[in-house]
Amino acid sequence: MSDLATSAPTDFIRDIIDEDLRMNKHEGRVATRFPPEPNGYIHIGHAKSVCLNFGLAKQYKGTCNLRLDDTDPAGESMEYVESIIRDVHWLGFDWEDRLFYASDYFEKLYQFAIELIKKGEAYVCSLSPDEIREHRGSFTEPGKESPYRNRSVEENLKLFERMRAGEFADGEHVLRAKIDMAAPNIVMRDPIIYRIKREPHYRTGDRWIIYPMYDFAHCLSDALERITHSICTLEFENNRPLYDWIVERLIPANRPKQIEFARLSVSYTVLSKRRLIELVQKNYVNGWDDPRMPTVSAMRRRGYTPEAIRNFCAEIGVAKNDNLIDVALLEHCVRDDLNERSPRAMSVLRPLRVVIDNYPENQVEDFDSANHPQKPEMGTRKVPFSRVLYIERDDFMEDPPKKYNRLGPGREVRLRNAYIIKYESMLKDEKTGEVKEIHCTYDPATRNAPPADGRKVQGVIHWISAAHAVPAEVRLYDRLFTIEDPGSVEDCLQYLNPNSLEILTTCYVEQNLKNVKPGSQYQFERLGYFCADEKDTREGKPVFNRIVALRDTWTKIAGKG
RNA sequence: UGGGGCGUCGUCAAGCGGUAAGACACAGGAUUUUGGUUCCUGCAUUCGGAGGUUCGAAUCCUCCCGCCCCAGCCA
């Protein structure tokens, strides 16, 4: 397994923290937080932030809080909160008793706003949304000051109180920080810090009708939690001056510092929350945990392990460059982890009947098969062998090319963990010409042993005894999008992959998998890693999701997808 | 266009004035009862470009070029 995940990473954030520690800021304390808004499930991009924030806390023997940044009631819900709690835990991180909600700070934030008004640094503005936008100016032109900018402190206090009391309609007034309408940074042109919004909040119900804006709530929440390093993504860089402006005015000491890093992008996948919500709501996928989704719960259901995801986050690093990580790296991390831990099993996804003509009619032999070729400590299992078998339809070709290492007319192959068999004849469907059945003979002397004459066979294939086969349903998941960077496209939905889900209903797995434990991963030899679905289980017919295919050089040679 | 940020291999990413780590991907080869794993080998004379400073520059300076973010009462 990769040892990079355990080696201490170096990055610019750690440099900043080291420097702060050297200057003895915050009494040598390091406190971070992971602050998602509960308006959707967290995805692999959030996982990067989770690993970063909790990883930093661990490395510096500090703390990392989980904070739900729920300052806009629209779209937020307890279901999302619960999914976030579950997913961060599953990723392997613990915030102990430090679970916080921005909504728990509403009263304190309101008091902070009053303090700002009293300092003469915030005012109630009664411009309409359109007027506010017009007054804001543009990139090239400075904004114009609001006619309400110079209301007296008393009037502002009274108006703000009445805003809270519900005396005004939504949008009638807002509270604004009094900064500089001519600031080159548009964020600083008297930003709105409170708005009236009559929308029930999933936690505070209708107790509040005014809600603080992100810029006001976030930095103060950080301060209230005594966060030392507030790590967020690059698009908030423009907001940092405002973060500092607010904190400098309201927090006397131990002010938190905002540090930005580049958000994650992964090829062939979309991580925009807006897009993911759309995929779910318009039923392009079957919910947030559809195994094709890039969400943490989908990856769990698909069979990814938390270790694989953490290793991935360690491998990609943290920097400020815009990036597009090759999804192959994610898949590599998944294989790398699963290769170590997954027991092997045989299965046949697209069955083709094989009859061993010279094998006794009613005989059954149990082969002891290793659960892991490199790990004897993982033990063995019995795999029954009999006269009629299923092999993978792909593993027989009537007219094979030279590089094909499997069964064909005149060829001999090893049945994995069993005998060498030799092709004798085939039966075809008279109408379609499709091969229906292969007849072979076996060499009894090759039971788990090389042939005495030292001859080489064409290859090794997997198989299942027909009489002992357990029917299963197998789902092959492929990437959801067909283009490398769907995230950069306005309408990425037109690039949805129509073949992203293939359901195979006539599969067979080993009898050992009859009562497979939901959520457990196996390597189906020569096929890939599969996971028993944790949700969709059926009596006697297990359902497997393909986590990821094995690295397969033959598909490259043959040019198959 | 004003402001903010970023440009090192196909993709990420170290590097912080002393002569380009590592990972993925890719290409060869060895071992293999998984076309898996493992193991070797190869893969940036050059760091967006051009000048300059220096004995010495990816690292410092100047100019230029390219990409990303900001004009929600979203976060």
Q: What is the DSSP string of A76-94?
A: --HHHHHHHHHHHHHTT--
Identify the helix (H) or strand (E) that includes residue A56.
helix A44-59
Nucleotide nearest the Cα atom of A525 (by C1'): B34
A322 touches strand B (CB under 7 A): yes
Q: Please list, residue by residue across A72-94, b when 16 or more beta carbons sit within 10 angstroms of its beta carbon and e when fewer do.
A: bbeebeeebbebbeebbeebebe
Q: How far is CA A558 from CA A404, A409, A414, in A?
A: 9, 19, 21
Q: Among A196, A174, A162, which residue's Cα sits nearest to residue A126?
A: A174
Identify the helix (H) or strand (E) that includes residue A109.
helix A106-118
CA to C1' distance (Å), from A275 to B7: 28
- Tokens 């929308």 belong to A199
Q: Among A343, A339, A345, A435, which residue's Cα sits nearest to residue A394?
A: A435
CA to C1' distance (Å), from A143 to B1: 15
Hey, what are A538's tokens?
């059926």
CA to C1' distance (Å), from A204 to B46: 59
**A395-414 residues near strand B (Cβ < 7 Å):** 403-406, 414
A51, A52, A58, A59 alpha-carbon torsion, rounded to 10°: 130
Show which positions of strand B are touched by protein (CB under 7 A): 1-8, 10-16, 22-27, 32-38, 67-75
Hey, what are A345's tokens?
């099993």
Q: How far is CA A391 from CA A42, A343, A514, in A?
A: 40, 20, 19
Report how far residue A366's alpha carbon sits from residue A383's, in angstroms, rounded to the nearest whole number: 5
CA to C1' distance (Å), from A315 to B25: 14
Per-residue pLDDT of chain A (561 residues; tens, 9 = 90+): 333 334 567 899 999 999 999 999 999 999 999 999 999 999 999 999 999 999 999 999 999 999 999 999 999 999 999 999 999 999 999 999 999 999 999 999 999 999 999 999 999 999 999 999 999 999 999 999 999 999 999 999 999 999 999 999 999 999 999 999 999 999 999 999 999 999 999 999 999 999 999 999 999 999 999 999 999 999 999 999 999 999 999 999 999 999 999 999 999 999 999 999 999 999 999 999 999 999 999 999 999 999 999 999 999 999 999 999 999 999 999 999 999 999 999 999 999 999 999 999 999 999 999 999 999 999 999 999 999 999 999 999 999 998 999 999 999 999 999 999 999 999 999 999 999 999 999 999 999 889 988 899 999 999 999 999 999 999 999 999 999 999 999 899 999 999 999 999 999 999 999 999 999 999 999 999 999 998 877 777 999 999 999 999 898 888 764
- Farthest CA pair distance, chain A: 102
A485 touches strand B (CB under 7 A): no
**A223-252 residues near strand B (Cβ < 7 Å):** 234-239
Which are the contacts of A218, defined by CB distance < 8 A and separation ≥ 6? A35, A69, A102, A230, A243
Catalytic residues of A: 37, 263, 273
How do the residues of chain A divide into helix, strand and coil, expressed in percent and rounded to 5? 35, 25, 45
Q: Are A231 and A263 in contact (CB under 8 A)?
A: no
CA to C1' distance (Å), from A278 to B35: 40
How much is the pTM? 0.96
Nucleotide nearest the Cα atom of A317 (by C1'): B13
**A431-470 residues near strand B (Cβ < 7 Å):** 446-450, 459-461
Nucleotide nearest the Cα atom of A332 (by C1'): B24
Q: Are A347 and A464 in contact (CB under 8 A)?
A: yes
Q: What is the DSSP string of A294-360?
A: -BHHHHHHHT--HHHHHHHHHHH---SS---B-HHHHHHHHHHHHHHHPPEE-EESSEEEEEETTS-
Hey, what are A402's tokens?
């030279």
A4 touches strand B (CB under 7 A): yes
Hey, what are A134's tokens?
């017009």
Report how far residue A126's alpha carbon sits from residue A192's, in angstroms, rounded to the nearest whole number: 11
**A113-132 residues near strand B (Cβ < 7 Å):** 127-129, 132
Which are the contacts of A48, defined by CB distance < 8 A and separation ≥ 6? A263, A264, A313, A316, A318
- Under DSSP, the state recorded for A266 is B
CA to C1' distance (Å), from A25 to B6: 29
Hey, what are A142's tokens?
């400075």
What is the model's pLDDT at position A260?
A: 98
Hey, what are A283's tokens?
């039923």
Nucleotide nearest the Cα atom of A173 (by C1'): B73
Report how far residue A317's alpha carbon sits from residue A236's, in angstroms, rounded to the nearest whole number: 20
In DSSP terms, A390 is beta-bridged to A353, A464
Q: Are A295 and A36 in contact (CB under 8 A)?
A: no
CA to C1' distance (Å), from A552 to B24: 16
A548 touches strand B (CB under 7 A): no
Give phi and psi for A247, each to the nearest 5. -65, -35
Q: Where are the beta strands (DSSP E) in A135-287?
A: 174-177, 192-196, 210-212, 229-233, 257-261
Nucleotide nearest the Cα atom of A373 (by C1'): B37
Nucleotide nearest the Cα atom of A171 (by C1'): B73
Report how far residue A76's alpha carbon sits from residue A86's, in angstroms, rounded to the nearest whole number: 16
Q: Are A407 and A391 in contact (CB under 8 A)?
A: yes
A336 touches strand B (CB under 7 A): yes
Q: How far apart are the first and last CA of chain A?
A: 27
| Predicted ipTM beyond 0.95 | yes
Q: Are A218 and A107 in contact (CB under 8 A)?
A: no
Query: How many CB atoms lie under 10 A from the CB of residue A5?
Result: 19
A221 touches strand B (CB under 7 A): no
Nearest residue to B10 via alpha carbon and C1' = A326
Nucleotide nearest the Cα atom of A11 (by C1'): B14
**A191-210 residues near strand B (Cβ < 7 Å):** 192, 195-197
CA to C1' distance (Å), from A58 to B16: 26
A67 touches strand B (CB under 7 A): no
CA of residue A541 relative to chain centroid, distance: 28
